C-alpha cells in the first residue's frame, strides 16, 4: 500500500507563482497556485501565457505537481553498510562524508580520473555548470558526461561543423507558424511536445504544407500533407536523394551557395551516387513521393527543415544531420526569414545542460576544454591554475562501459539521471554499475539506478528551487521556487558545494543559485554560448533572453545567421552570415552506410524505439503519476497486422523481443502506422520491459551517440508472467 502524501508548505502569494514545466525542452510557462482543501494545501497547476506555449500544457505538465507530495519521495539520505545489506537512514553529514571518502579512496588507488560524475539534461544551468566545475576543480578529474549525450549530441556536432555554432533552434518556435513549408525528420511533436503543435496548426491554417519523414505514421504524420516512410536508419540516403533531385531539376539557390557557403562542388559530385531509383531501393520511399517533396521544399517562400532524434540517434547520426543541413543550405534556407534548419531538443535543459560544462570535452560558454585560451579564461574565473584543469574525458556510454575496470571510473556520482533504464545496452550498464567500488546517486525517487547505490541523496524538485533553464529556442528562462522542500531534502548545488568543502575546495563553491549564475555569466563571456548580458532581472522583465547576449545592453539573439550578425554578437563579415572564420556555412560530403546491425536469419526484423505521449525519459516520474498511468498503464510493442499474423500473435497478446544483447517482453498493439518489417517500443519502462536492454551501443565516431533507433531483433509470441506484465 502506498504511504501518505507529503504535506505542502508554501509562502506563495494567492495569485500563485509563475514558473516553467519540469519536463521537455519547450519549458512551457505555468502558474502554481496554493489552494486549501480538507486534506491540506494543494498546488493548482495552470498554463500561463508565454511566447512558447501561449497558455497550453500537456497532460504531463498539468499533472507535474502530483510528484511534489508523492509518498515515494526520498526525504532522508540512505546508506548501505555493505553491498548485500539493505539501505538505512543516515544524516547528511554521514552521507556526504561517505561520498567524499569514496571519491578520495578511488583517486588515491587508481588516479584522479577514477572518480567521476554522470549528470542530467534536466538540471538547471546553475547545477550543470557547478557539476562541470566540481569534477574539474574539486576532483581534478576528466571523468564527466551526461545523458544529453544520448539526446542532442549528433545534431550539436553537425551544427557546429556546418554553422560554427550549435543552438538547437536558431529562431523562435513561433516562426514555425510563419513558414510556408515545414519538413520534420524523425520528430513527432504531436506526442512528445503537444503544446508546440499549435504553431504547426497555425501554419496550416494559413495554408502552409507540412511533410514528415518517419518509419511510423505518427500523429504528426497524420496531420501532414506528405508522409515519407523510410526504413529505419536510411534518412541520410533520403536527404542525399532529395538533394540529387533538387540539383537535377535546377531547384537549388546558386546565388546563396556562392555568397554564403563553401564546400558545394565536392557535395555536388558526391550526389551523383544517389540517383532516385537507388535511393528508393535503400529507403523504401517511392520516387514519386521524393519528387513531390523536393518541389514543395524548393517552391515556397519560407521553408524549414526540423530534425529530431529519429534521424540523429544512430551510429551515423551526425552525418545524417549534416545531410539535411546540406539540403537546407543548397535551397538557401539558413538565415532567411521563417526558414532554416533546426533540431528539436528533447530534455528540459538539453540546450543549457550541454553549454556549460557537463560534456566531457566542454567548458562553460561552449568553450572546448582542449583549447588553451578557453582553459585560461575559465580557470581565471574559477580561481585556479589552468594547468590544474584536466584534458577532455570520454563520452557517456564509453564512461559507463568502463565502470569498475582498469583505467575506468571506480567511484561515481550520478545526478538527475537513471542510466539503468535510459542508457543503451542497459543490462551491461547495470552490471558495470554493480562493479563499481562506490556509487552515489542523487534523485527525487529511488530509481532503478539508485537501487544499486551505496549512498542515495534526496534532491529538491523543480518547484522547490530557483534557477535558470534554456529552452528549445535558446531562450534563457527563470525557474522559480513555489513551495518549500520537505525537511531533509537538499539541492544538488548544496550537495556539490558540501562535497567540495570535504575535498578541500569549499572556498571555490557557492550553493546559492543566483551567485552561481553570476559566476556562469563571467565564465561564458566571450564564448559561443555567451550569457554575460543575461541577468535574472532581465529574464523577468523580457520573458526570457536569447543567447548569445554578450552585454547587458545587448538585446539578445532570437534569430541567428542573419546578414552581418552571424552569431548575434558584435561580429560582422562581408563574406557571409555565420560564426565561422570566413563567415560562410560549410557543406560536408556524407554518404549512406548501413546500420551497425542489419537484420539477418537469426534476427530478421528491425526494432526502433522512442517516446510515448503519456510518459517521459526513464519513467521515474511519469510511472508514479496517476493520470499518466491511467492513460498508459503499461508498455506495448507496436507491430503491423501483417507481421503479427506471420508471428501468430494478436492484439493484446504477448511478444518476446530478443537481440544480441538482451530480451524484453511486451503486450502487442496492432497498428498499420508501422512498417511491416519494423516494430516500435517505448523506452520508459523497467523490469522485463526495459527496451534499452536490447538497443545497440555502437557509437557515432564524431558525436559518440549510441545507435538507439535501429537494431536487428527476433520476435516470438510468448506469454508474459502476469506479475511482470506492466514492467
Tell me the helix, strand and coil percentages in the chain, rounded to 5: 35, 20, 45
DSSP conformation letters of 65-100: GGGGG-TT---S-EE-SSTTS--EE--HHHHHHHHH
Mean pLDDT of the 501-513 span: 97
Is residue 556 in some structural domain? yes
Q: What angle do CA 578, 582, 585 make, to 5 degrees?
A: 40
Confidence of residue 9 (pLDDT cuts 50, 70, 90): confident
If asked whether residues 547 and 620 sit together in one domain, one would say: no
Q: At how many degrees (to 10) do helices 372-382 and 513-524 cross?
A: 150
Region 133-154: what's the mean pLDDT? 94
Residue 160 inside a domain? The answer is: yes
List 213's β-bridge partners, or say none. 185, 228
Q: Is residue 286 part of a domain?
A: yes
Same domain, 169 and 123: no
Query: What band does 721 get if pLDDT is binned at 50, 70 and 90?
Result: low
Render the burial of 377-408: b for 16+ CB within 10 Å, e for the rest.
bbbebbebeeeebbeebbbbbbbbbebbeeeb
In a domain, 17, yes or no: no
Range of the domain at 659: 605-724
The domain that holds 265 is classified in CATH as 3.40.228.10
Element (H, E) at 249: none
Tell me, what's the pLDDT at 472? 93
Task: Please give the helix or strand (H or E) that residue 532 lies within, else none.
Answer: none
In a shared domain, residues 221 and 299: yes
Q: Are residues 243 and 140 in the same domain?
A: no
Contact by Cβ (8 Å): 577, 564: yes
Domain shared by 293 and 167, yes or no: yes
Same domain, residue pair 709 and 669: yes
Percent of the chain with pLDDT over 70: 96
pTM: 0.94
C-alpha 467/C-alpha 346 separation (Å) is 19
- What is the per-residue DSSP string for 115-183? EEEEE-TTS-HHHHHHHHHIIIIIS----EEEGGGGTTHHHHHHHHHHHS---S-SS-GGGGGG-SEEE
Residue 168: CB partners within 8 Å, gap ≥ 6?
25, 152, 155, 342, 343, 344, 345, 350, 351, 472, 473, 474
Question: Could you tell me the pLDDT band of residue 445, with boundaries at 50, 70 and 90?
Answer: very high
Average pLDDT score over residue span 438-463 = 97
Task: Report which of 68, 47, 103, 723 is spatially closest to residue 411, judged by C-alpha positions.
Answer: 103
Higher pLDDT, 96 or 575: 96
Q: Has residue 571 got a pLDDT over 70?
A: no
Is 404 strand, coil or helix?
coil
Q: Residue 89: its pLDDT value, please?
A: 98
Based on the fold, state whether residues 294 and 385 are members of the same structural domain.
no
Angle at 218 between CA 611 and CA 157, to 5 degrees: 55
pLDDT digits 0-9 by tens, 329-348: 999 999 999 999 999 877 88
Tens of pLDDT along 594-627?
A: 999 999 999 999 999 998 888 888 888 889 889 9
Averaged pLDDT of the chain: 93
Q: Same domain, yes or no, for 307 and 295?
A: yes
Give domain status of residue 464, yes or no. Answer: no
State the CATH number of the domain containing residue 424: 3.40.50.740
Domain shared by 566 and 624, yes or no: no
pLDDT digits (tens, 9 = 90+) for 248-285: 999 999 999 999 999 999 999 999 999 999 999 999 99
CA-closest candidate to residue 592, choices 406, 366, 322: 322
Residues 130 and 184 in one domain: no
Within a domain: 129: yes
- pLDDT digits over 58-70, tens only? 999 999 999 999 9
Residues 405 and 523 occupy one common structural domain: yes
Read off the pLDDT of residues 103-132 as tens digits, 9 standing for 90 and up: 999 999 999 999 999 999 999 999 999 999
Q: How many domains does the chain have?
A: 4
429-433, 519-523, 562-566, 711-715: segment of lowest average pLDDT = 562-566
On whether the CB atoms of residues 215 and 205 are closer than 8 A, the answer is no
Residue where the block lists cell 553537425:
158
If phi over 0 gives left and psi between -120 and 50 gives alpha, with beta otherwise, what is residue 366?
left
The secondary structure element, H or E, covering residue 218 is none
Q: What is the DSSP letter of 674?
A: B
Mean pLDDT of 653-662: 96
Task: Classify residue 634: in a domain, yes or no.
Answer: yes
- Residue 570's pLDDT is what? 38
Confidence at residue 3, expressed as pLDDT on a 0 to 100 scale: 66
The 10s digit of each residue's pLDDT in 284-321 is: 999 999 999 999 999 999 999 999 988 999 999 999 99
Tell me the pLDDT tens digit for each residue of 181-238.
999 999 999 999 999 999 999 999 999 999 999 999 999 999 999 999 999 999 999 9
Q: 138 Cβ partners below 8 Å, 6+ apart?
A: 496, 499, 500, 503, 505, 508, 509
What's the CATH number where 712 sits? 2.40.40.20
Angstrom CA distances, 668 to 77, 348, 680, stand at: 40, 31, 10
Same domain, residue pair 336 and 415: no
Q: Is residue 394 part of a domain?
A: yes
pLDDT score recorded for residue 574: 34
Burial class (CB in 10 A: 0-12, 13-18, 19+), 226: middle
Amino acid at each position: 500500500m502506498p504511504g501518505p502524501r507529503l504535506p505542502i508548505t508554501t509562502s506563495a502569494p494567492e495569485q500563485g507563482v509563475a514558473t516553467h514545466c519540469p519536463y521537455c525542452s519547450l519549458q512551457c510557462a505555468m502558474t502554481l497556485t496554493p489552494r486549501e482543501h480538507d486534506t491540506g494545501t494543494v498546488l493548482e497547476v495552470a498554463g500561463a501565457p508565454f511566447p512558447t506555449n501561449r497558455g497550453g500544457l500537456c497532460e504531463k505538465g498539468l499533472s507535474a505537481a502530483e510528484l511534489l507530495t508523492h509518498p515515494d519521495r526520498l526525504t532522508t539520505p540512505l546508506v548501505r553498510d555493505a553491498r548485500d545489506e539493505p539501505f538505512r537512514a543516515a544524516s547528511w553529514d554521514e552521507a556526504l562524508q561517505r561520498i567524499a571518502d569514496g571519491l578520495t579512496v578511488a583517486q588515491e588507488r587508481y588516479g584522479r580520473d577514477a572518480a567521476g560524475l554522470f549528470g542530467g539534461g534536466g538540471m538547471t544551468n546553475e547545477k550543470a555548470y557547478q557539476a562541470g566545475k566540481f569534477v574539474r576543480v574539486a576532483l581534478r578529474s576528466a571523468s564527466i558526461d551526461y545523458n544529453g549525450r544520448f539526446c542532442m549530441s549528433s545534431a550539436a556536432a553537425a551544427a557546429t561543423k556546418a554553422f560554427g555554432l550549435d543552438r538547437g533552434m536558431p529562431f523562435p518556435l513561433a516562426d514555425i507558424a510563419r513558414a510556408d513549408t515545414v519538413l520534420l525528420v524523425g520528430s513527432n511533436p504531436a506526442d512528445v511536445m503537444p503544446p508546440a503543435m499549435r504553431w504547426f496548426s497555425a501554419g496550416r491554417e494559413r495554408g502552409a504544407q507540412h511533410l514528415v519523414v518517419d518509419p511510423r505514421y505518427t500523429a504528426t504524420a497524420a496531420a501532414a500533407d506528405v508522409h515519407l516512410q523510410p526504413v529505419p536508419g536510411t534518412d541520410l540516403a533520403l536527404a542525399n536523394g532529395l538533394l540529387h533531385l533538387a540539383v537535377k531539376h535546377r531547384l537549388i539557390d546558386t546565388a546563396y551557395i556562392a555568397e554564403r557557403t563553401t564546400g558545394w562542388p565536392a557535395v555536388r559530385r558526391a550526389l551523383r551516387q544517389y540517383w532516385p531509383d537507388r535511393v528508393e531501393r535503400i529507403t523504401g520511399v517511392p520516387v514519386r513521393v521524393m519528387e513531390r517533396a523536393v518541389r514543395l521544399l524548393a517552391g515556397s517562400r519560407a521553408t524549414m527543415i526540423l530534425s529530431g532524434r529519429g534521424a540523429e540517434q544512430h551510429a551515423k547520426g551526425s552525418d545524417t544531420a549534416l545531410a539535411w543541413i546540406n539540403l537546407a543550405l543548397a535551397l538557401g534556407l539558413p538565415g532567411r526569414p521563417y526558414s532554416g534548419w533546426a533540431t528539436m531538443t528533447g530534455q528540459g535543459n538539453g540546450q543549457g545542460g550541454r553549454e556549460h560544462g557537463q560534456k566531457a570535452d566542454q567548458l562553460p560558454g561552449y568553450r572546448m576544454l582542449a583549447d588553451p585560451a578557453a582553459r585560461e579564461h575559465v580557470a581565471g574565473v574559477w580561481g585556479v591554475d589552468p594547468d590544474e584543469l584536466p584534458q577532455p574525458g570520454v563520452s557517456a556510454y564509453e564512461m559507463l562501459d568502463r565502470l569498475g575496470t582498469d583505467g575506468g571510473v571506480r567511484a561515481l556520482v550520478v545526478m538527475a539521471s537513471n542510466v539503468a533504464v535510459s542508457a543503451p545496452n542497459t543490462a551491461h550498464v547495470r552490471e558495470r554499475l554493480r562493479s563499481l567500488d562506490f556509487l552515489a546517486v542523487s534523485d527525487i525517487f529511488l530509481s532503478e539506478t539508485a537501487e544499486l547505490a551505496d549512498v542515495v541523496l534526496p534532491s529538491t524538485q523543480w518547484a522547490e528551487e530557483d534557477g535558470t533553464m534554456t529552452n528549445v529556442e535558446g531562450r534563457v528562462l527563470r525557474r522559480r521556487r513555489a513551495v518549500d522542500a520537505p525537511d531533509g531534502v537538499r539541492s544538488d548545488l548544496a550537495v556539490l558545494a558540501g562535497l567540495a568543502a570535504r575535498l578541500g575546495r569549499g572556498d571555490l563553491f557557492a550553493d546559492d543559485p543566483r551567485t552561481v549564475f553570476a559566476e556562469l555569466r563571467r565564465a561564458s563571456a566571450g564564448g559561443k554560448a555567451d550569457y554575460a548580458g543575461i541577468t535574472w532581472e532581465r529574464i523577468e522583465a523580457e520573458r526570457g533572453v536569447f543567447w548569445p547576449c554578450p552585454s547587458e545592453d545587448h538585446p539578445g539573439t532570437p534569430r541567428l545567421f542573419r546578414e552581418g550578425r552571424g552569431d548575434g554578437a558584435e561580429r560582422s563579415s562581408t563574406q557571409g552570415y555565420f560564426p565561422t572564420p570566413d563567415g560562410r556555412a560549410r557543406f560536408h560530403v556524407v554518404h549512406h552506410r548501413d546500420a551497425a546491425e542489419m537484420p539477418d536469419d537469426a534476427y530478421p526484423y528491425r526494432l526502433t524505439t522512442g517516446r510515448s505521449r503519456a510518459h517521459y525519459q526513464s519513467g521515474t516520474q511519469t510511472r508514479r503519476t496517476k493520470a499518466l498511468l491511467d492513460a498508459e498503464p503499461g508498455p506495448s510493442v507496436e507491430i503491423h497486422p501483417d507481421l503479427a499474423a506471420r508471428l501468430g500473435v494478436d492484439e493484446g497478446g504477448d511478444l518476446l523481443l530478443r537481440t544480441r544483447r538482451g530480451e524484453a517482453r511486451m503486450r502487442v498493439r496492432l497498428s498499420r502506422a508501422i512498417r511491416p518489417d519494423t516494430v516500435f517500443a517505448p523506452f520508459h519502462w523497467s523490469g522485463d520491459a526495459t527496451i534499452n536492454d536490447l538497443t545497440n551501443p555502437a557509437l557515432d565516431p564524431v558525436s559518440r551517440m549510441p545507435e538507439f533507433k535501429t537494431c536487428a531483433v527476433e520476435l516470438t509470441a510468448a506469454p508474459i508472467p502476469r506479475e511482470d506484465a506492466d514492467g
